[in-house]
Amino acid sequence: SQQGEEDPQALSIQEGENATMNCSYKTSINNLQWYRQNSGRGLVHLILIRSNEREKHSGRLRVTLDTSKKSSSLLITASRAADTASYFCATVPNNAGNMLTFGGGTRLMVKP
């Protein structure tokens, strides 16, 4: 069973618009991470937010975490065609050692 589920499954926007992706998870977590995957490639780590943090920024990325709702969101501002990729959230559950489990991902297409 997957710990995280992303919403929407697919998102298509115009260049310059903002993209928001959501992630829900089931159990209490140590931290939540977001990754990006270009088609047919490995994943690249974007940002990590700990369970005691509510918001984190990195460049054009903004991540929020609501542990009471067991949810997180990733906002990409001023999107570019090069942001086209799949985005995954991953969680490290409490009491699960190092086990990093992923959701199903959001496929983002940014049209030039």
Q: How far is the CB of 16 from another protein (least distance, A)?
A: 27
Closest to another protein by CB, 18 vs 28, is 28
Q: How far is the CB of 98 from another protein (least distance, A)?
A: 4
Structure tokens at 54: 């509510």
Beta bridge partners of 88: 35
Closest to another protein by CB, 75 vs 100, is 100
Closest to another protein by CB, 76 vs 89, is 89
Closest to another protein by CB, 63 vs 103, is 103
Q: How far is the CB of 35 from another protein (least distance, A)?
A: 8
Pairing of strands 61-66, 43-50: unpaired
Residues of this chain that interact with another protein (CB under 8 A) are 1-2, 6, 30-31, 33, 35, 40-45, 48, 88, 90, 92, 97-105, 107
Residue 68 CB-density burial (10 A; 0-12 exposed, 13-18 middle, 19+ buried): exposed
Give me the sign of the Cα torsion angle 74, 28, 93, 26: negative
Structure tokens at 106: 């959001």
Tally of residues, the chain: 112
